[in-house]
C-alpha cells in the first residue's frame, strides 16, 4: 500500500505578495517521491489577487487544490477549518502566508510525525524554533538535549505546525466539551490569556495545558516569520525572524520520557528535568520560576540574591545550566516563596542582573523597555 504523505495546507487571506513569497519557498524545498498534495485555503477578503496568485502557481509534486471560501470566516474559524482537513487527508502541515520555509521542512515534519505517532502526550509538531519568550520579553535558550534535534514545550505553535488526525480529533473533542471559556484553566501565562478572541492558538494552548500535553519543537527552525501586517500585526516587524536550516540533517528524535529539554508554557524547564541532572534537588518539590513570571507558593527556583536552601550562580547560558551543573553562587536560589517578600529590597538588583545576563548593554536595554512594551501592544501575535 502506498504511504499517504502529509498534505501541505497554505492559509491565505489578503496578502498576495506574502502568499507568493511562501509559495516560492515551497517550490524550492525537497520532497519524497509520491503525491505531495498542496491545498491553498483562501478566506474571503474581497480581493481577487490572492486567488490569482494561487491559480497561477504551478505545483509539480502532486495534486493542487484551491479552497476559496465564499464568506469571511475570520482567522480562528479559518484555521479550525484547515485543521478539520485531517479527517480527509490525515497528516497536515499548516503554513500561514507570512511564513517562509527551509528547503528541508518537509523531511523534518514527515519524520517527526512518524516518530511521535504513538506518543499520546504529543499534541502537534512545530516547524518554528522558539528563540524568544513573549511572556517575559527575553531570549529563550532551550537546553541542548544530546543528539536529539527537538525539545518539548507545553505551548502550541502557529508559525508552521503539523497535526495528525489523532492530534486534531483530541483538540476538537476537548473544544466541543469545554467551549471557548478558558478562565478556569490554571497554568496559562497572562499574555496568552490576553490574546484576542480571534486566536485559535490561545484555545489550543489551553487544551494542551489542561490535558498535560506537549508540542515538539526543533532546535533549528524550519520556518521563519516575516511579520507582515495582518489581522494580528498592525505594522511589519522582524521581531520573530529566526535563522532557518540550510543543510540536510539526519534527524534524531528523543523519546519524550527521556528528554532533558521539556518546558511549560512559561518557557520554564520542568522540575523533573532538573532533578534528573542535579541530585541535590531530587528530594524537593518545587516550581521553576527563573524568568520570574509566575505566582508561586511553596518552594521555587527563581532569580534572587537572598539565601535559600540552595544557591546557584547566574553565570551560564541558558540559566538552567548553572543549576544542572550545581554551580554555587548568587543570582539563583531554591527558596520558599514566602521568604521572597523580605527580599523586596534586592528585587531591583535581580531585575538588573537578568538584563545584564542577556544583554551586553543593560542601560540601553532598560531605557528602551517602555518602548518595547508599547510595541508589544501593536505586535501581539496569536
Query: What CATH number does residue 240 fall under?
Result: 3.90.550.10
pLDDT at residue number 227: 80
Same domain, 45 and 128: yes
> Does any domain span residue 288?
yes
- Would you say the C-alpha torsion 195, 198, 201, 203 has a positive or negative sign? positive
pLDDT at residue number 37: 98
pLDDT at residue number 360: 57
Phi and psi, residue 223, nearest 5°: -140, 160
Last residue of one domain, picked from the residues 214, 239, 261: 261
Last residue of one domain, picked from the residues 261, 278, 307: 261
> Does any domain span residue 132?
yes
> Does any domain span residue 349?
no
- Would you say the C-alpha torsion 88, 91, 94, 100 has a positive or negative sign? negative
Give per-residue burial for 330-366: e unless 16+ CB within 10 Å, then b.
bbbbbbbbeebeebeeeeeebeebbbebeeeebeebe
pLDDT at residue number 352: 63
Contact 80, 200 (CB under 8 A): yes
CA angle 154, 95, 202 (to 5 degrees): 35
pLDDT at residue number 349: 61
User: Into how many domains does the chain fold?
Assistant: 2
Per the DSSP assignment, residues forming a β-bridge with 122 are 214
> Does any domain span residue 284?
yes
pLDDT at residue number 232: 47
pLDDT at residue number 1: 55
Last residue of one domain, picked from the residues 261, 292, 319: 261
pLDDT at residue number 354: 74
pLDDT at residue number 379: 53
Same domain, 215 and 285: no
pLDDT values of the chain reduced to their tens digit, one per residue, 382 residues: 567 999 999 999 999 999 999 999 999 999 999 999 999 999 999 999 999 999 999 999 999 999 999 999 999 999 999 999 999 999 999 999 999 999 999 999 999 999 999 999 999 999 999 998 989 888 899 999 988 999 999 999 999 999 999 999 999 999 999 999 999 999 999 999 999 988 999 999 999 999 999 999 999 999 999 986 655 455 556 778 999 999 999 999 999 999 999 999 999 999 999 999 999 999 999 999 999 899 999 999 999 989 999 999 999 999 999 999 999 999 999 999 999 876 554 555 666 677 777 775 544 444 444 455 445 545 544 4
Write out pLDDT tens, residues 16-62: 999 999 999 999 999 999 999 999 999 999 999 999 999 999 999 99
> Does any domain span residue 141?
yes
Same domain, 240 and 296: no
Per the DSSP assignment, residues forming a β-bridge with 263 are 153, 269
> Does any domain span residue 345?
no
Same domain, 282 and 136: no
Same domain, 172 and 223: yes
Query: pTM of this prediction?
Result: 0.90
Contact 312, 322 (CB under 8 A): yes
Same domain, 239 and 281: no
Same domain, 208 and 302: no
Write out pLDDT tens, residues 141-186: 999 998 899 999 999 999 999 999 999 999 999 999 999 999 999 9
> Does any domain span residue 366?
no
Same domain, 166 and 227: yes
- What are the C-alpha distances in Å from 222 to residues 52, 177, 267, 340, 351? 27, 34, 20, 41, 33
Calpha distance 83→93 (Å, rounded): 9
pLDDT at residue number 136: 87
Same domain, 175 and 37: yes
Which residues span the domain enclosing 282?
A: 269-340
> Does any domain span residue 247?
yes
Same domain, 179 and 45: yes
Same domain, 155 and 249: yes
Same domain, 226 and 97: yes
pLDDT at residue number 223: 98
By DSSP bridging, strand 214-218 and strand 150-153 are: antiparallel
Amino acid at each position: 500500500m502506498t504511504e499517504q504523505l502529509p498534505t501541505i495546507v497554505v492559509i491565505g487571506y489578503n496578502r498576495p505578495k506574502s502568499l507568493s513569497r511562501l509559495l516560492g519557498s515551497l517550490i524550492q524545498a525537497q520532497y519524497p517521491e509520491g503525491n505531495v498534495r498542496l491545498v491553498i485555503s483562501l478566506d474571503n477578503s474581497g480581493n481577487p489577487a490572492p486567488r490569482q496568485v494561487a491559480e497561477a502557481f504551478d505545483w509539480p509534486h502532486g495534486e493542487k487544490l484551491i479552497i476559496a471560501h465564499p464568506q469571511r470566516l475570520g482567522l480562528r474559524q479559518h484555521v479550525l477549518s484547515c485543521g478539520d482537513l485531517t479527517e480527509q487527508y490525515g497528516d497536515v502541515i499548516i503554513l500561514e502566508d507570512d511564513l517562509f520555509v527551509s528547503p528541508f521542512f518537509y523531511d523534518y515534519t514527515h519524520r517527526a510525525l512518524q516518530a511521535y505517532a504513538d506518543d499520546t502526550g504529543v499534541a502537534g509538531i512545530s516547524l518554528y524554533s522558539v528563540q524568544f519568550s513573549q511572556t517575559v520579553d527575553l531570549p529563550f535558550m532551550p537546553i541542548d538535549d544530546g543528539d536529539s534535534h527537538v525539545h518539548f514545550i507545553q505551548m502550541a505553535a502557529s508559525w508552521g505546525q503539523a497535526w495528525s488526525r489523532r492530534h486534531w480529533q483530541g483538540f476538537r473533542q476537548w473544544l466541543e466539551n469545554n467551549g471557548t471559556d478558558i478562565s478556569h484553566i490554571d497554568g496559562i501565562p497572562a499574555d496568552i490569556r490576553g490574546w484576542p478572541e480571534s486566536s485559535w492558538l490561545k484555545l489550543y494552548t489551553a487544551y494542551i495545558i489542561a490535558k498535560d500535553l506537549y508540542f515538539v519543537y526543533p532546535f533549528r527552525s524550519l520556518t521563519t516569520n516575516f511579520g507582515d501586517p495582518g489581522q494580528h500585526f498592525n505594522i511589519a516587524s522582524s521581531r520573530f525572524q529566526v535563522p532557518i536550516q540550510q543543510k540536510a540533517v539526519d534527524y534524531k528524535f528523543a523519546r519524550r520520557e527521556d528528554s532533558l529539554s521539556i518546558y511549560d508554557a512559561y518557557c520554564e524547564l520542568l522540575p523533573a528535568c532538573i532533578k534528573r541532572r542535579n541530585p541535590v534537588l531530587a528530594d524537593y518539590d518545587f516550581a521553576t520560576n527563573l524568568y520570574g513570571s509566575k505566582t508561586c507558593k511553596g518552594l521555587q527556583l527563581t532569580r534572587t540574591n537572598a539565601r535559600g536552601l540552595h544557591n546557584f550562580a547566574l553565570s551560564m547560558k541558558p540559566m538552567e545550566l548553572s543549576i544542572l551543573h550545581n554551580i554555587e553562587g548568587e543570582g539563583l536560589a531554591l527558596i520558599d516563596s514566602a521568604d521572597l517578600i523580605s527580599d523586596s529590597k534586592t528585587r531591583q538588583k535581580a531585575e538588573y542582573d537578568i538584563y545584564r545576563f542577556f544583554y551586553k548593554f543593560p542601560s540601553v536595554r532598560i531605557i528602551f523597555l517602555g518602548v518595547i512594551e508599547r510595541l508589544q501592544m501593536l505586535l501581539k501575535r496569536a
